[in-house]
Amino acid sequence: MPAADPPPDWDAIVIGGGPAGSSAATTLARSGKRVLVLEKARFPRFHIGESLLPYNRRVFDQLGVWPKIAAAGFMVKRGAQFWMGDASRHTRLDFSKGSFTEFPESIQVERATFDQILLDHARSCGAQVLEETLALDHQVDATGVTVRHRGPDGLEHSSRAAFLIDASGLSNHTANLADLRDDYPGHRKIALFAHFSGVDMPAGEEHGDILIVRREQSWFWLIPLADDKTSVGLVLDLQDFKNLRMKPEQVFEEAVRSTPAVAMRFSRAEPLHAPRVTVDFSYRNRSLVSPRVVRVGDAAGFIDPIFSSGVMLAMSSGVDGALAAARAIDAGQPMTRALRRYEKNTWRDVGLYWRFIRRFYQLHFAQLFFQPVNKHRMVCAIQSVLAGRSRPPLAVRWRLHAFFLLVRLQKHLPVVERIRIG
């Protein structure tokens, strides 16, 4: 007679301690579940993605972590500015003035500090965290999931839980093992970035704004992290980068020099560290849930960071995926309608931002975006989504449909002036 599967040691194992994993672990622990987090790095660790959206506040409140984040003294972000590369035009989204936006401001964060706060909060809520611990593989059976992992001592161990939450980020642990990943065609990017002092950033009521500078086929971000510390990155097509046949720092320096909207802010700029490089292949996984497995954050899918939606979507999916898993654990079921609903809602949330992202690189979209007219409060509707309102009401949705109809018309008829973008 075959041996019975061993009982779970944990209600849930979470792979990854970033924003998605910490959010999932906190949610599960606060619902009374026994949670183990396996994090491959030692925190604090550097991570890109420093600009958050106003609707992050809703998730912070859900997790009970806002007082700790507020006490950290991060830079306040009240708006987002979009500039044309030649500095001839720009538009600003002021989060305090949109009629459909409930949260008036956000924050710019150094991810090493921010992620540490989230992970420590998960610990304080009752999750056990193992750092420098790499998940190797997992096995699902009728009664649970067994995860094999290697700790800092180099030894392999196995842990068992009723559910596995995959928050492994771009490692995409379970989906890659199951061959579920689909790249978005034509959207293979590379980011070159560093922190700088001496960058001339906006002051006054615009102090703390993120700047997005659109070039013809690429774009810059400028994110103020402190009064004299700014994150600056260049995102371009991977093939375009290869065709230049230059070192990353040379590509970055040439792009700064040839982009007036950036160059005018760099007269006193000094790098604080050597440039870093990351490859950004936007993708989605064909399935976000399977029996006893839930994928959240970048392990659910990754999209271009042009609108700073990454952390908010990661944390929201971490909370939602964990809530669905908690219900399945309580019901003793490996798959439930709530898990399927989580999958559907997450695809819908990501799809809303992907709709903006894939068009941002199109000329006719940019021509409307850089010449905003708030007729029928259409700009307010766009602003609410770009502030992080991923599940907008009907009053916003019909305005978005109207805007994207105008984008299609602009390709064939001049709805607004056909300005050059670059």
Q: How do residues 182-197 score in pLDDT, each as one tens digit?
A: 999 888 999 999 999 9
The helix-helix angle for 56-63 and 19-30 (nearest 10°) equals: 40
The span from the CA of 370 to the CA of 411, in Å, is 15
The span from the CA of 171 to the CA of 163, in Å, is 19
**Radius of gyration (Cα) for the chain, nearest Å?**
22
Query: CB-based burial of residue 155 (10 Å sphere; 0-12 exposed, 13-18 middle, 19+ buried)?
Result: exposed
The helix-helix angle for 394-410 and 337-360 (nearest 10°) equals: 40
- Indicate which CATH number applies to the domain containing 227: 3.30.9.100
CB-based contacts of 366, cutoff 8 Å, min separation 6: 214, 360, 421
Q: How do residues 77-114 score in pLDDT, each as one tens digit?
A: 999 999 999 999 999 999 999 899 999 999 999 999 99
Of 110, 8, 14, 48, nearest in space to 325 by CA: 14
> Contacts by 359-362 with C-beta closer than 8 Å and gap 24+?
359/404, 359/407, 360/214, 360/306, 360/307, 361/217, 362/407, 362/411
Alpha helices in 94-154 (DSSP H): 111-124
Of 31, 97, 107, nearest in space to 66 by CA: 107
pLDDT at 272: 95
Total domain count for the chain?
A: 3
pLDDT at 17: 98
Are residues 199 and 325 in contact, defined by beta-carbon separation less than 8 angstroms?
no
Indicate the residue among 315, 338, 354 that finishes a domain: 354
- Asked if the structure places residue 236 within a domain, the reply is yes
Task: Give 1's pLDDT tier (boundaries 50, 70, 90).
Answer: very low
Task: Give 420's pLDDT tier (boundaries 50, 70, 90).
Answer: confident
Task: Give 4's pLDDT tier (boundaries 50, 70, 90).
Answer: low
Are residues 254 and 275 in contact, defined by beta-carbon separation less than 8 angstroms?
no
Q: Which helix (H) or strand (E) holds 173?
A: helix 173-177
* Same domain, residue pair 290 and 349: yes
Structure tokens at 191: 């980011």
Indicate the residue among 281, 296, 315 that finishes a domain: 281
- Asked if the structure places residue 265 within a domain, the reply is yes
Indicate the residue among 266, 281, 296 that finishes a domain: 281
pLDDT at 5: 67
* Same domain, residue pair 261 and 384: no
For the chain, percent of residues with pLDDT exceeding 70: 99
pLDDT at 7: 72
Residue carrying structure tokens 């994090």: 39
